A and B are shown apart, each in its own frame.
Chain A
Amino acid sequence: MNNRIIQTVFPLVFVLLAMSACHKDLNLRPKYGFNSAAVYDTADNYIHVVAKLYAGFVLSGNEGPAGNPDIADIDEGFSPYLRVYWNLQELPTDAAKCRWNDVGIPELNTMRWSSSNSFVKAMYSRLFFQITLANEFIRECSEENMERRGFAEVDREKIRGFRAEAQWIRAFVWSHAIDLFGGNVPFVTEADGIGANLPPQTNGKELFAYVEQELLSIEDELPAAGTAEYPRVDQGALWFLLAKMYLNAEAWTGEDRYSDCATYVDKIINSNAYSLDPNYKRLFTLNNVNSTEAIFSVACDGAFTQSFGGTTFLVHAFVGGNMNTNDFGITGGWEGYRATKAYTDLFVADSAVSDRFTWHHEGHIQSIDTFDQFDNGWAQAKYKNVFYENNGDTLTPDNYSLNSQVDLDFHWMRLAEVYLMYAECAARGAGSTGQGLNYINMLRTRANEPVVASYDLDFVLDERGRELSWEGSRRTDLVRFDKFTSSSYVWEWKGDDPNGVGVSDHLNIYPLNADDVIANPNLQQNTGY
C-alpha cells in the first residue's frame, strides 16, 4: 500500500518539479535605485540628476568620499573632475610640481606624457561622463517627453531651467575638450542614445562653433546675472564662459575673437551683479561662500559633499614638511606640490606686502633640485579650511576631526579674472588699455601691492600668474601666450631637463585617450602622439 503511494506520488512529484521551471525567475532586478526609464517619470527626480551634473565636478562617485566611482581605471580619489583638471592645468607648467610617484604624475611634471597617461585618460573620461549624462538628461527634458509624461506647466517651467543648466554644464565641459584636446574628440549630442553607433570625430573649429551656438541659445533661459541660487549658474556664468572662449579663440581655432571677449566681459561688469571681495586671502577660506566676486563656484562640504578631489585635495595636497597644519584647519597635509623658482620669482618683488604672496618658504630652497623632497621649491599656503576672522584668527569646522574632509568652496570663475580678461583684450587691441590698467590696479590694490603705471601683454600673463595662482588656469594662459612649449620661457624640469628646455609644439594639446582611439576607429590621434 505504502509502496503504491510512493510509486505514484514520487514520479508525480518528479514530473511536477521538472515542469515547475519558471523562466520568469530569471527576470531579476536591482532592489535599490531606479529603472532608467522610470526615473524621469517623476518631476521631483529631475533636480537629483541636475545635482549629479554639478556634483560631477567635485565628487568621485555616488559614495562619499569614495567607494562607488563614476569612472574606472584611475584611483578613485584622483578621479574627480576638478582634481584631474587642476593637475593637467598646473603640473606641466611653471606653477606646480608634485613629488608623488602616483601613476601619471611624474610624466605631467616633466612633460613626458604619452597617450596612455592615467590623468589624461581620466580627464577624457570625466569630460565624457558629464557629456553623456547631460545628453541623456537634455534628451529626457525635451518638450515632447514632458508632454508625453503629462507634466504640469509649473513642472515644465522648472525642468526647462534644469535643461538650460545642463546645457551650460555640457558647454563648459566641451570648452575644456577644446582647450585640453584641441577639440578633436568624439562628438555626441542629445540626439545620440546610449549604446548608439560610434561617434564621429569633430575638431576645434566645429566644436567651438557648436558650443558658442549652444550658449547663445540658452542665454534667455538662465536667470539674470547674480540671481541664481548659490552655487547654480546664471547669465553671469554664461557670459564668463563665452568671454573665456573668445579670449582663447585665436589659440584654439586660429580666429581672433578678442573684441567678442571684451563685449561679454563688459556685459558681466556692467551687470553690476559682482564686486571684488575686499580681502584676497579670505577668498580661499571658509568665508568665501557666496562671495560677491564668485561667478561660478563648486561647493564642497565636509559632511555632505565628501571626496578626495575637491577642496579636500586643494587644501591637503599642498601642505607638508614644517608647515603648521593648524593654520590650514587640517591635521595633516599630503606633502605633494611645490612651485618652480621661475614661477615664485613672479611674486618676489612685492613679497613683503602682498596678500598674493602666499608662499611658504621657511626651510625650503626656492628651486626644485631633488624632485622627491618636499622642501625643494616653495609651497603654496593659499587654500585653507578655516574661517578667516579678524585678520588672522582661525577656526576649524567641527566635522573635520571626524572625517578629514574640507568645507571650502572653490570659485572656478570670479570677477578678478574678468578684469584680467579685459586688460588682456585691451593690450591685444580690443579695448581701452587705460581701463585695463585701472582693473589691474584694482586687483593690486586689493592685494596691498603698489599700483603700476602701465602694462603690456606679458605683464598680463604675469599678473594672471599672481592673481590666479594655482587656480587651474596656468596651462591655458601659457598656451595662449605661446610660452607653454616654446623655448621663449623655460622653468626647471620643463621638457625633463633640470634647467628647462623648449619642447615640441604638439604638447600644447593633450593626446586623446589611447584606449578610446582603439575603441572608436573613427578617431585619429592628435598629431605628434
Chain B
Amino acid sequence: MLRVLSLSKRFGAVRAVDDATFEVRDGEYLCILGSTGSGKTTLLRLIAGILRPDEGETYIDETLMNETPPEDRNVVYVPQTYALFPHMTVLENVMFGPVARRVPQKKAKEKAMSVLQLVRLDHRTDALPSELSGGMQQRVALARGLASGAKLLLLDEPLGALDARLRIELRGDLKRIAKDSGLTVIHVTHDQEEAMSIADRILILRKGRVQQHGTPFHVYRRPENLFVANFVGRTNFLEGIVDSRDREKTTVRLRQNMYIDVADTSHEREEYIIVAVREESTHLTRDDPGEGMNALDGEIIQLHFLGYSTRFEVKLKNGDRVSSLVSTDDPIGRVKMGDRVRVSFNPRNTLVYDYPTLGLRHELEVY
C-alpha cells in the first residue's frame, strides 16, 4: 500500500524527519507514536504530499509519488485542527468534497449519509458545527475524510481535542470504522496507551528518527532501545555491572553490592548495563518470593491510587527507586507509607541494555 524509503526533511538546522524507511500494508492500522517535536506530523505531511522531502521516496501502491500533488495521491489528510465550514450543515460539510469533484448530487448524498452512519451522526445531519460537541465535530471531520473515497487515511491526533474519557470511548469506534470500510490508516499520536489499544503496528519516532516499528506486542515486549522501553509502558531502570554469568542467567551487581539475576546472557563480566523491569512485573511481598525470583529490600516512600491499581514507589536499601503496580484487590496493596517490603521480580521479565554512552537520563528524555 505505502512504502517510504529514506525519507528526510529538514527545517533549517532541525532534522524533522531523518532517514525514515517503512511499509504500511493494505488494510493496516498504523500508529506513529512520538512526543511533541518528534517529527510525526511532518512525516504525515510528507506522505500526504503537503510537504516535499529533501531526500527519499514515497510509493503508494507501488507508484512513486514524489512529484504527485496531494489531490492526486488518493489519500486523505485530516489535520489536527479540523476546519469545518461553519455556515454549512453536517451533511453539507460531508458532501462538499464529492460535490466539488463533480460527483452527482444524489450519489454524493448517499455516500455522505453512509459515512455519517458509520460515525453515528446520521441523526444530526441538519445541525451546524457550532451546535455540536467537540467529539461530534471531530467525527464530522472524519466523515468528511471518509466521504472522499480515498483508501489511505492520514489522521493527525484525531482524538487530541477530546476529553480523556471520550477519547477512550472513540478509540474503538475509529478502529471499527477503519476495518469495516477496508481502509488503510496512519494515525499520529503522542499517547502510547491510545497507540497500544488501536494499532495493528506502531512506529515510534524520536527526534525525526524511527526507533522501532512493530506490533504492540513486539514493541512492548521487545523494546529495541532504552527510549522505547521508557516511552511505551512504565518501566524501572536499574544500573549495574555484570558480576558473573552461566548458560541460563547473568548475575548483576547493583549499587552497594545488591545482586539480581537476569535471563539475558549476552553481556560480558564487568560490563556496565541497564536492567529494565516493567512496573507490573515487580511484585511487593513480605515473605520469601520463591525459588529463582529476585528480591530486593526497601521501604514504601510514595503511593498513588490509580483506580484499577495502585502504584507504589519503593526506595531500596542501596538508594535506587523501584515502582510496582499492584492490583486494587490484591491484599498486599494495604501496605502503607514507610512500611518495609520486598520487591520481587522474575529474571525472565527483565531486559538488559548496554550502558548508554551519554548516560541514562539523556537516553530516556522524551524530547
Do A and B bind? Answer: no
